Structure 1
Amino acid sequence: MKDIHIGSLIKKRVDEREIDTFRILTFFKSYTESEIKKQYKSQSIKTDDLLKWSKLLEYDFFRIYTQHIILFAPISKTKKIDSIKSSALPNYRKNLYTKEIIDFVLDLYVNEKKKIQEISNKYNIPKNTIHNWIKKYLPKN
């Protein structure tokens, strides 16, 4: 999740869904087959194209980036208050952790033997939240 190569992820989803090239070209209208293949090799693509891919493949590719932000660029507690007051943009709750993030954190705790404090400090996830995940998702010994 740290290094995102969106083109390869799109290609994986195309393969999983077994979407043929003709359908993709029909959906994207102005693109050629070589331009589609070029997108598969691209580490980043335009957001309007990513939105189209998300619709065609019925998968939210933007969530990959959202999860990356939650884990690797968390907003500090002091910046949170300032950004809420000063922004005209919609304010989304950042504390909506997906199952993938929860699994990632629990894997760090169980398999990589990271302490809850280390995880909390690195990813800015409250310790209480991590404790709740452990109680809820890990089997009791």
Structure 2
Amino acid sequence: MDLKQINIGQLLENSVKENHIEIESLCSIFNCEAKDIEQMYNSDTLDTDILIKWSQLLQYDFFRLYSQHLVLYAPPSANRYNQIEIKKEVKSQEPQFRKNIYTKEIIEFIIRRINKGEMTREEIISKYRIPKTTLYKWLYKYNKYIEE
């Protein structure tokens, strides 16, 4: 799966086919017509309330795809950490998450890129801003479990 370009509609359609869900059932759940479901399949993006319904229906967290995209392609910059230290007194209303959240899928993605020769370890470290020690721990711990 290409996490750089997420086509959520296509992923939904594939998941519906895998789960053998009839379009009539979807129409009744979403209270819409078949053409509206087809429009969702052809859409690159969906509203969050609709995506929540899809996630509940298909029992898959489609939001995780976007979280993984952010971890891989929009890591926090070093300047942001300096700004946070300066503005410690100002409390943010946004929820605070752990600094780095690397899912199993992300770790497998990174290790496969190295194993296939698509990227070197240094390229992974610089492009995705993964700490060198973290990457080497992953390679030591998970490399034997991941097929090439």
TM-score of the superposition, structure 1-length normalised?
0.89
| CA shift in 2, pair 1:105/1:91, >3 Å | same
Aligned residues: 139
Q: Is the 8 A contact 1:7 1:40 kept in 2?
A: yes
Q: Is the 8 A contact 2:23 2:34 kept in 1?
A: yes
Shift of 1:81: 5.7
Q: Is the 8 A contact 1:6 1:44 kept in 2?
A: yes
Shift of 1:123: 0.3
Which amino acid in structure 2 is aligned with residue 7 of structure 1? G
Structure 2 CA distance for aligned equivalents of residues 124 and 28 of structure 1? 40
TM-score of the superposition, structure 2-length normalised?
0.86
Stretches of structure 1 lacking an aligned partner (at least 5 in a row): none
Root-mean-square deviation (CA, aligned residues, Å) is: 1.9
Q: Which runs of 4+ in 1 moved over 6 A?
A: none
1:61 equivalent in structure 2 = 62
Structure 2 CA distance for aligned equivalents of residues 23 and 94 of structure 1? 41
Give yes or no for the alignment of 1:24 onto 2:26.
yes
Structure 2 CA distance for aligned equivalents of residues 68 and 80 of structure 1? 20
Structure 2 CA distance for aligned equivalents of residues 111 and 23 of structure 1? 42
1:57-76 deviation digits (Å, cap 9, x = unpaired)? 10100000110111011111
